[in-house]
Every structure is written in C-alpha cells, then in structure tokens.
C-alpha cells in the first residue's frame, strides 16, 4: 500500500455527500507526468499531442497540455515561415528579419523548457493567454 496516493473525487461525485478518497498507484501518476513532459518537448511533442487530441483520449490535464503544445508549435511555425518569407523577399531588412526569426525560435524553445520545469516542480503548465486561446480554438474544433 506504500505506492498509493489518495485523490479527491469530489468533482466526479454529484450526490452532495462528503467526497470519497480513492487510492491511485504512484506509477500511474508518474506515467501521466511523463506523458505531459513528452507533450511539452519542443517540435517532437507536437506529434503525440496531436494524436491525443485527435483520439480524444486522456485526462482533462493531458488534453489541456496537448492543446497548449499544439498551439505553441503552430504559433512558432507560422511565425517562422512568415519571417522566413519576409527575409527572402526583403532586400534591406533581411538580416534583421533573420535575427528576429532566431529570437522567435529561441523563445519557443525557452517557453517549452520553462513549462517542463514548472511541470516537474508540480505547478500548473499553463500560459495565461495562450492556454485560453488553445482551449477555445482547439477545444472547439478538435474536441
């Protein structure tokens, strides 16, 4: 019984009585946390995230992190291609646009690593505006 942790199922119980505590094995918690870490890996985590959202399988937290990962990747990819196109067509601002493109890519990787560290610390892996956008857009069209 050492590897069991009680959880609060008050949201799942709708009878208004005291919430019951069901034990969840720590291996399941560790596995779920590992999956969330995989979702947040820059570029690579996009594919398992897309699969999770497409199949509509996983916990509420897994779906939320998957949507955030997909939104981050699409935002970075769109910005990357727009800036690359701007650098290719511009004669005067080419170097400046390429530098801005590298800042965008570095920012995407840093935000992803920061979210991974927050998840490891046990904090919520959410971004104020982007998580809400991901829930509204991807939650509406993909879930």
Q: Which of these, 69, 99, 97, 73, lies nearest to 83 by C-alpha position?
A: 97
What's the pLDDT score for residue 128?
75
pTM: 0.73
pLDDT above 70 for 2: no
User: Looking at the predicted structure, is the pLDDT value of residue 14 above 60?
Assistant: no
Residue 122's region, left for phi above 0, alpha for psi from -120 to 50, else beta, is left
Q: What values do phi and psi take at 7, rounded to 5?
A: -125, 160
| pLDDT tens per residue across span 81-98 | 999 999 999 888 899 999
List pLDDT tens digits, range 17-75: 444 565 656 666 677 788 888 999 999 999 999 998 888 888 888 888 888 899 899 99
């Amino acid at each position: 019984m050492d590897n069991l942790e009680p959880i609060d199922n008050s949201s799942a119980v709708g009878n208004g009585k005291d919430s019951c505590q069901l034990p969840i094995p720590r291996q399941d918690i560790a596995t779920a946390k590992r999956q969330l870490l995989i979702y947040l890996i820059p570029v690579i985590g996009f594919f398992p995230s897309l699969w999770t959202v497409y199949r509509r399988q996983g916990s509420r937290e897994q779906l939320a992190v998957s949507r955030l990962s997909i939104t981050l990747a699409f935002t970075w990819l769109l910005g990357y291609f727009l800036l690359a196109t701007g650098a290719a067509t511009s004669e005067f601002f080419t170097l400046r646009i390429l530098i801005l493109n590298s800042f965008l890519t570095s920012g995407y990787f840093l935000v992803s690593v920061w979210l991974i560290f927050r998840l490891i610390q046990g904090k919520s892996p959410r971004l104020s505006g982007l998580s809400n956008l991901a829930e509204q857009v991807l939650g509406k069209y993909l879930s």
